[in-house]
Chain A
């Protein structure tokens, strides 16, 4: 489960029109979230509130043997009016969904991405319509969090300087750290077609730069105007997209270099990604390949949104120097039943036909395939348009829980079951080690979140 403050921070990104995904850091975010989702440990309660459009608080109380907690405050100079902050209204995919659809690269008029394939709530329409307010690019976000027994203080400042430039400054203060704390400065430059980030950390004098370049797909000149058109509706594309029924996606390639000026050490990596765009007709998929030439590490991931309620991901890692290899698979299964539905063995498919989701289209009719032509555009484009709206609206209500699972080469299983019970969002997770069947449960945790 994403934390409330994370959700608010990303709401800020979307309110300012910042494309958070257009950075090398998020290259394999989909597979990472599908496989490396964090398992809760112990009991954790979170009470959060977006008290005013400018101000949010969150209190957390946890118990893993000892009781600890944290207090966090967030202030945004930009009013976050369009945010569904109540825990009974937050769209679950925004908090829980791992598969990330690519979104449009337009640098000026970006839409909220994090709603995923769900239809954004009605209020966001107001945001997108008021995108043109002038002080949007000078807006800032301040965030502070104090962990209580440990006296660890976190601070974050995000400031949007220009439409293309954003600066982040994050700091941690704790007694046990060297010099009492660390500071990380991050300057992000996003031009849509490419995004560059420079960073500097006080810890070891680390300097780094990373960049991502997009090509193919919607970045090519012919398709450049399409996303903005489609974005006004439910990613439903015009008829021109019919030409791209085979595969329609975007290539991204990038790299990162780090150098610690004080400890005289460094690191680098290169990466590439192919991901289908929301307008793609077939199954949405994301494939990435990252290489660390210094350490000889090759990492390949493949994630697919097999159905709207089911995502799968695999990851393979291989080191050409040490011949060590790793694999892991992850899965995410959404349920539109009550949270107990999984235990009762309900098949979400049998209950109600899953809505195909906006990116998915009706298959070409068999007749049309035979004749090497497309279906009639009128009938084709009207049907999903009618269908998608109630489907999306229904799915927003109906998805009540998600089961995430992963398995790695050490036969360790992570299970996470998240959902909503009345107005509480819960997350129940456990780690199972199949190698040690005597005591298989390595961890068990429950997180409960309430926000108003």
Chain B
């Protein structure tokens, strides 16, 4: 497999520069400017230079003809430059007064008279070094997220270079501004540009979206996720998805009874209005309870997907950015806005904070814990199917159900240890993809632990009667999903999912059996040891 990145045709296209200049100009003038800038910021010159950036592929999570997902390491120290033009207010008293209330203004007579100075700023010698998450799909366009601060250094030269104080100030301010631009605005620009290029029809839809926001129909099933993943992190066949939605869509809506929906909306509203009278829908598993198994799944630092899931829970619209392009029914409320990307990163730390809190529950009896871990397995995975795709965080390995392996191990650890571990956990999980060894770490563990997991996890369903078990799973996952987020799109429905689950299970069973066989062939003595003692949680019941 080879990638061919072509740098020069991009830079040779005169039309491209014009478009990029326009986009940059609008992006720079969008946010309210500080009072010192009295005119529009105009991008007069923009050149990407001739030196291409160095790209290193760290990992590829998803690769198909119409979509791609991967993490890159990018280093750039080329000859690109950017020239901005604006006018600044040189009278400090004028800018001082402009932001103050008039009532306490000293009302100077002429001391605040304005003196505007044209200012030209050239940014050059830009050095970048970033980890980029790139998600591309034909329907959604191109999404780029910087996982770290990409700007290493740059040189700011301006009209005021001779004045040391002003130069330092400009350098500092512009670096800060540019960091914001890189983290927030640039992904939006690229996304819009890619939408223009690949799917112009989506652009029209985005404009129409605000009208549809107010639609009362909150239909979680109307919009399936684009990159649907099954319970074990394997990508679903696109054909299967379309079939799923076509068949199950209308029926599935009927499956959520109006009563339940009303109760759930009551519940969510009660949180908004801080009403004391909260309805208590029955048969509901709350996230707070589920946190326990979350925590278990998160104990290995590798499990980014779970972290991502919790982040999308704390800020529910995080993933609208990547999804909105694909909305057919317009039920995603917000237009792609890059502010959400911030909340995504914030959500990561939030999520880890939640795990440390959940650790308090550790004091419950061991038996209880195991039960829960097992019963919620299905729902957890059900959530992951929709959420991992939506946050757009690539998965380096199929989502193996870690909890099963972790339960016995965690039981031995006291609650206090859990607390002390959580900070470093969050520290580790916050920047998972920044580590160079990240791709290697799964290699070390997965053959041993991961497959072991999948075997133990899937053995009970196989042993159970095929009719009973899948229904139970789908019922649980359905309630949890609809409770957790109304807009979350999930292709599962009872009727369709029963069939689907059965098909999955059969397929997975075959797959796993094959893997186990392979593994056994490679490493027979290891498997002999492990198979003898199944985890106590999965003894026949």
Q: Give A contacts to B, CB under 8 Å.
A: 24-25, 27-28, 152, 154, 156, 170-172, 174, 177, 182-184, 199, 201, 203-204, 206, 208, 210, 256-258, 260, 263, 265-269, 271, 290-292, 294-297, 299, 317, 319, 321-322, 324
State which of B93, B100, B104, B117 has its C-beta within 8 Å of the C-beta of A267.
B93
Whether B104 and A292, one on each chain, are in contact in the complex, defined by CB atoms closer than 8 angstroms, is no
Distance in Å from the Cβ of B189 to the closest Cβ of chain A? 30
State which of A260, A271, A321 has its C-beta within 8 Å of the C-beta of B110.
A271
State which of A172, A258, A296, A324 has its C-beta within 8 Å of the C-beta of B111.
A258
Whether A269 and B100, one on each chain, are in contact in the complex, defined by CB atoms closer than 8 angstroms, is no
A/B interface sample: 13 pairs, CB < 8 A: A152-B101, A174-B101, A183-B104, A184-B105, A256-B108, A258-B106, A258-B108, A260-B93, A266-B92, A271-B109, A317-B113, A319-B113, A321-B115
Whether A299 and B110, one on each chain, are in contact in the complex, defined by CB atoms closer than 8 angstroms, is yes
Whether B101 and A292, one on each chain, are in contact in the complex, defined by CB atoms closer than 8 angstroms, is no
Tell me the interface secondary structure of chain B in the complex: loop
A210 and B109 contact, Cβ closer than 8 Å, known pairs A152-B101, A296-B115: yes
Number of A-B residue pairs with CB-CB distance less than 8 Å in the complex they form: 98
Whether A295 and B115, one on each chain, are in contact in the complex, defined by CB atoms closer than 8 angstroms, is yes
Whether B96 and A184, one on each chain, are in contact in the complex, defined by CB atoms closer than 8 angstroms, is no
Pairs A-B, 9 closest by C-beta atoms: A265-B92, A269-B110, A267-B111, A267-B93, A297-B113, A290-B110, A184-B104, A295-B115, A269-B111
Answer whether residue B122 sits at the interface, using C-beta atoms and an 8 A cutoff. Answer: no
A322 and B115 contact, Cβ closer than 8 Å, known pairs A256-B108, A256-B109, A267-B108: yes
Whether B107 and A299, one on each chain, are in contact in the complex, defined by CB atoms closer than 8 angstroms, is no
Residues of A within 8 Å of B105, CB to CB, are: 184
Distance in Å from the Cβ of A336 to the closest Cβ of chain B? 34
Chain B residue at minimum C-beta to C-beta distance from A204: B96
Instruction: Report the separation of the CA atoms of residues A203 and B96 in the bound assembly, to the nearest whole angstrom.
Output: 9
A322 and B110 contact, Cβ closer than 8 Å, known pairs A263-B92, A265-B93: no
Instruction: Report the separation of the CA atoms of residues A154 and B102 in the bound assembly, to the nearest whole angstrom.
Output: 10
Instruction: Report the separation of the CA atoms of residues A184 and B102 in the bound assembly, to the nearest whole angstrom.
Output: 11
Tell me the interface secondary structure of chain A in the complex: strand
A172 and B101 contact, Cβ closer than 8 Å, known pairs A260-B96, A267-B92, A295-B90: yes
Residues of A within 8 Å of B109, CB to CB, are: 24-25, 27-28, 210, 256, 269, 271, 290
State which of B96, B104, B113 has its C-beta within 8 Å of the C-beta of A299.
B113
Chain A residue at minimum C-beta to C-beta distance from B116: A322
A182 and B100 contact, Cβ closer than 8 Å, known pairs A201-B106, A263-B92: yes
Answer whether residue B112 sits at the interface, using C-beta atoms and an 8 A cutoff. Answer: yes
A292 and B113 contact, Cβ closer than 8 Å, known pairs A174-B101, A182-B100, A182-B104: yes
Residues of A within 8 Å of B114, CB to CB, are: 295, 297
Answer whether residue B103 sits at the interface, using C-beta atoms and an 8 A cutoff. Answer: yes
Whether A295 and B116, one on each chain, are in contact in the complex, defined by CB atoms closer than 8 angstroms, is no
Instruction: Report the separation of the CA atoms of residues A266 and B91 in the bound assembly, to the nearest whole angstrom.
Output: 9
A269 and B103 contact, Cβ closer than 8 Å, known pairs A258-B93, A295-B90: no
Q: Give B contacts to A, CB under 8 Å.
A: 90-93, 96, 100-101, 103-117
Whether B104 and A297, one on each chain, are in contact in the complex, defined by CB atoms closer than 8 angstroms, is no
Instruction: Report the separation of the CA atoms of residues A322 and B106 in the bound assembly, to the nearest whole angstrom.
Output: 26
Instruction: Report the separation of the CA atoms of residues A376 and B113 in the bound assembly, to the nearest whole angstrom.
Output: 50
A295 and B91 contact, Cβ closer than 8 Å, known pairs A258-B111, A322-B115: yes
Whether B92 and A172, one on each chain, are in contact in the complex, defined by CB atoms closer than 8 angstroms, is no
Residues of B within 8 Å of A294, CB to CB, are: 91
Whether B115 and A206, one on each chain, are in contact in the complex, defined by CB atoms closer than 8 angstroms, is no
Residues of B within 8 Å of A199, CB to CB, are: 106
Whether B96 and A269, one on each chain, are in contact in the complex, defined by CB atoms closer than 8 angstroms, is no
State which of A172, A267, A319 has its C-beta within 8 Å of the C-beta of B103.
A172
Residues of B within 8 Å of A266, CB to CB, are: 92-93
Whether A267 and B115, one on each chain, are in contact in the complex, defined by CB atoms closer than 8 angstroms, is no
Chain B residue at minimum C-beta to C-beta distance from A299: B110
Instruction: Report the separation of the CA atoms of residues A295 and B469 in the bound assembly, to the nearest whole angstrom.
Output: 81
Whether B101 and A267, one on each chain, are in contact in the complex, defined by CB atoms closer than 8 angstroms, is no
Residues of B within 8 Å of A208, CB to CB, are: 106, 108
Instruction: Report the separation of the CA atoms of residues A206 and B90 in the bound assembly, to the nearest whole angstrom.
Output: 18
A206 and B96 contact, Cβ closer than 8 Å, known pairs A269-B113, A299-B110: yes
Residues of B within 8 Å of A177, CB to CB, are: 101
Chain A residue at minimum C-beta to C-beta distance from B111: A267
Residues of A within 8 Å of B115, CB to CB, are: 295-297, 319, 321-322
Instruction: Report the separation of the CA atoms of residues A274 and B112 in the bound assembly, to the nearest whole angstrom.
Output: 22
Instruction: Report the separation of the CA atoms of residues A414 and B92 in the bound assembly, to the nearest whole angstrom.
Output: 29
Whether B117 and A291, one on each chain, are in contact in the complex, defined by CB atoms closer than 8 angstroms, is no
Chain A residue at minimum C-beta to C-beta distance from B89: A295
* B100, B108, B115, B117: residue with the most chain A Cβ atoms closer than 10 Å: B108
Instruction: Report the separation of the CA atoms of residues A319 and B90 in the bound assembly, to the nearest whole angstrom.
Output: 12
State which of B91, B96, B110 has its C-beta within 8 Å of the C-beta of A291.
B110
State which of A182, A317, A321, A324 has its C-beta within 8 Å of the C-beta of B101.
A182
Whether B107 and A267, one on each chain, are in contact in the complex, defined by CB atoms closer than 8 angstroms, is no
State which of B91, B93, B96, B104 has its C-beta within 8 Å of the C-beta of A171.
B104
Instruction: Report the separation of the CA atoms of residues A347 and B182 in the bound assembly, to the nearest whole angstrom.
Output: 64
